[in-house]
Amino acid sequence: MSLYQTQKLLYNLNKSTELQAQFFADKQSVLKNYRLDEEEAEAIVKPDIGLLYIMGVNGQILMHYAAMCGYAWPEYIKAMRDALEIYGNVRAGLYVTTDGKGAV
Amino acid sequence: MAAPDDKNSLYEAFDEMRQALEATKPDALIVIAAEHFANFFMDNMPAYCIGMGEEYEGPIEDPEWLGIPRTKVPGNPDLSKRIIQKVLNDIDVAYAEEWKFDHGISVPLNFLTPNYDLDIIPVNINCQGPPLTPLHRAWAFGQALRKACDAVPERIAIVGTGGISHWPATPDSGKIDTSWDKAFLDKWTSNDKQSMLSYTDEETWKEGGQGGFEIRTFIAISGATEGCKARVDYYRPIPIFAVGCTIGIVELEL
């Protein structure tokens, strides 16, 4: 797990249109600069927005990456809700859960 | 989309706040906000930061999604520098000559300074990336800011912006605990320092969500206006906006 590196990559993408262009042209050329494990790299590349939420990526970072990947707001929320069913609790970070579901 | 009555009533309340702000004839407006990773990350996260730029830009969000066009906002580096220098007597604040506004600042400015013709000084309190500044330090920061504003000749208005209970950008986005909000606002309106500083982050996280950490912006305003009563002109939970939308004013007893 390298949540910090995962969030750093997404934060940098959110901040730079140049990096976004490079990333969507050749994702591996950007990913190689971050120490990510296989699950993290796959979730970013796919993208699996729900799994990134489960890993603990902060929503204020993830919401921008989801929009960048074409997710409308309701789809973003649904991806996270579905992921709680698929993967279980949020594993780390500010949103860590223990009941396998959100409060709603 | 918000229900028409929610949207219209909020916009009216914002407009009344705009008129109240304009009536005070400020030379500049300080906006104390909770940053949302528009500018800072965990590689170098300031507990407090004050903007010192010539101009700023925002919102970072998709303008269509937020409903606010992206724009430049004037800063005042000379005034910022003087305020920062004064605040540093009491609080080790960071400063930034570059700053992107997110919804936390762009939304209130859209309503309060719609022509973007007032100098803005953005202020950030880290409410997202723990470890977070303790509440008593947010109060002290507000006091330091007030002292600094009182020490310069310009007339400066201060706005605090943030949510009370909320779970933004999570599956629980739209959940709002109105009783938790109202209990906090009771303390805020009476400038009850002891009660406001008695919240623990653990309680806040459990009862008010991770967005509840943004009570620091309210507390900083209370510190800046210590001894003064506040009033809440508008409070309405609007789930699509993810918070109990709140507009309140502190009239200084000079």
Find the residue in A nearest to B210 (Cα): A94
Residue A28 Cα, gap to closest chain B Cα (Å): 23
- Chain-wide mean pLDDT for chain B? 96
B226 close to B193: Cβ distance less than 8 angstroms? yes
**Which residues in chain B are closer than 8 Å to A81, comparing Cβ atoms?**
171
Q: What does the alpha-carbon distance between residue B93 and residue B50 come to, in Å, rounded to a whole number?
A: 7
Question: Which residue type, as a one-letter code, is found at position A30?
Answer: V
- Characterise B191 by phi-psi region: left (phi > 0), alpha (psi -120 to 50), beta (else): left
Q: Which of B35-44, B204-213, B245-254 has the lowest mean pLDDT?
A: B245-254
pLDDT at A98: 62
The SS3 call for residue B41 is coil
Question: Which residue type, as a one-letter code, is found at position B13?
Answer: A
pLDDT at A97: 72
Residue B254 has pLDDT above 90, yes or no: no
For the domain that residue B167 is a member of, what is the CATH number?
3.40.830.10
Which of B155, B114, B125 lies closest to B39, judged by CA?
B125
Residue B133 has pLDDT above 70, yes or no: yes
Which chain A residues touch B if contact means CB-CB below 8 Å? 4, 7-8, 11, 14, 53, 58-64, 67, 73, 77, 80-81, 84, 94-95, 102-104
pLDDT at A33: 97
B 147-206 → A contacts, CB under 8 A: 167-175
Residue B92 has pLDDT above 60, yes or no: yes
Q: How many residues does chain B have?
A: 254
pLDDT at A104: 42
ipTM value? 0.91
pLDDT at A96: 79
A6 close to A47: Cβ distance less than 8 angstroms? no
Mean pLDDT, residues B216-224: 98
Per the structure, how many domains does chain B have?
Answer: 1
For an interface test with A, the pick among B172, B175, B176, B205 (most A C-beta atoms closer than 10 Å) comes out as B172
**Which residues in chain B are closer than 8 Å to A60, comparing Cβ atoms?**
36-37, 128, 168-169
H helices within chain B, ranges in order? 4-23, 63-66, 77-87, 103-112, 135-150, 178-189, 193-196, 201-208, 215-224
pLDDT at B224: 98
B91 close to B47: Cβ distance less than 8 angstroms? no
For residue B1, name the pLDDT band (cuts at 50, 70, 90): confident
Mean pLDDT, residues B215-225: 98
Domains, chain A: 3-95 (1.10.700.10)
pLDDT at A100: 60
- Judge if the upstream peptide bond of residue B59 is cis by omega within 30 degrees of 0: yes
pLDDT at A102: 54
Inter-chain contact A67–B175, Cβ cutoff 8 Å? Answer: no
Spans in chain A with pLDDT lower than 50:
103-104
Q: What does the alpha-carbon distance between residue B79 and residue B38 come to, in Å, rounded to a whole number?
A: 23
Q: Tokens 């296989």 appear where?
A: A38
Going A24 to A26 to A29 to A35, the CA torsion angle's sign is positive
What are the two backbone dihedrals, phi and then psi, of residue A79, each rounded to the nearest 5 degrees? -60, -40
Interval B108-126: pLDDT, tens: 999 999 999 999 999 999 9
pLDDT at B21: 97
Domain with B54, as residue range(s), is: 4-250
Going B165 to B99 to A95 to B48, the CA torsion angle's sign is negative
Mean pLDDT, residues B142-152: 98
- Please report which helix (H) or strand (E) contains residue B245, including its range: strand B243-250
Mark B145-181 as b/e (b = at least 16 C-beta within 10 Å). Answer: bbebbeeeeeebbbbbbbbbbbbbbbbbbbbbbeebb
B139 close to B222: Cβ distance less than 8 angstroms? yes
A91 burial via Cβ count (<10 Å: 0-12, 13-18, 19+) = middle
